[in-house]
């Protein structure tokens, strides 16, 4: 499903609404409010989600009633922040596997204390 400028696509599914909020937060952080970091991002995302829920109620795409539409928006906003916090470390780890840098600290591989074995010797140890 493609999410475009048509508001009907924004409310087609819960994940589509999350994608809209995540995209808007990304654009705001990239171009407008570059210093927005940490916990305030979660607050901004949740507020944006609540605003999206209210917009969905006003436009008639969400017909849950006001309390549930606002709750839907809050869940969307938190889902967008949570999704970023979960996906980014996983994506970073996957990229580190592709580049061969998984498990490295800084520029050197973490060595167990008191050992002088090289990587080839440690690779033969069975767990």
Q: Average of pLDDT values for 18-46?
A: 90
Verdict on whether the full-model pTM lies above 0.75 = no
pLDDT for 127: 44
Query: Which helix (H) or strand (E) covers residue 109, if one does?
Result: strand 108-109
Question: How far apart are alpha carbons 25 and 47 in whole angstroms?
Answer: 11
b/e sequence 79-95, b meaning 16+ C-beta within 10 Å: bbbebeeeeeeeeeeee
pLDDT for 90: 80
pLDDT for 118: 56
The average confidence (pLDDT) of the chain is 80
Summarised one tens digit per residue, pLDDT across range 66-124 is 999 999 999 999 999 887 677 777 888 888 887 766 555 444 455 555 555 555 555 55
């Amino acid at each position: 499903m493609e999410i475009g400028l048509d508001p009907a696509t924004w409310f087609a599914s819960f994940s589509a609404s999350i994608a809209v909020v995540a995209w808007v937060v990304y654009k705001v952080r990239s171009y407008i409010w570059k210093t927005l970091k940490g916990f305030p991002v979660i607050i901004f995302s949740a507020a944006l989600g609540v605003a999206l829920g209210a917009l969905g109620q006003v436009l008639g795409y969400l017909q849950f009633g006001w309390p549930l539409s606002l709750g839907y928006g809050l869940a969307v906003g938190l889902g967008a922040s949570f999704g970023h916090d979960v996906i980014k470390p996983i994506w970073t780890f996957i990229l580190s596997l592709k580049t061969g840098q998984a498990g490295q600290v800084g520029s050197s591989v973490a060595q167990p204390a008191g050992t002088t074995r090289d990587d080839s010797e440690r690779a033969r140890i069975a767990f």
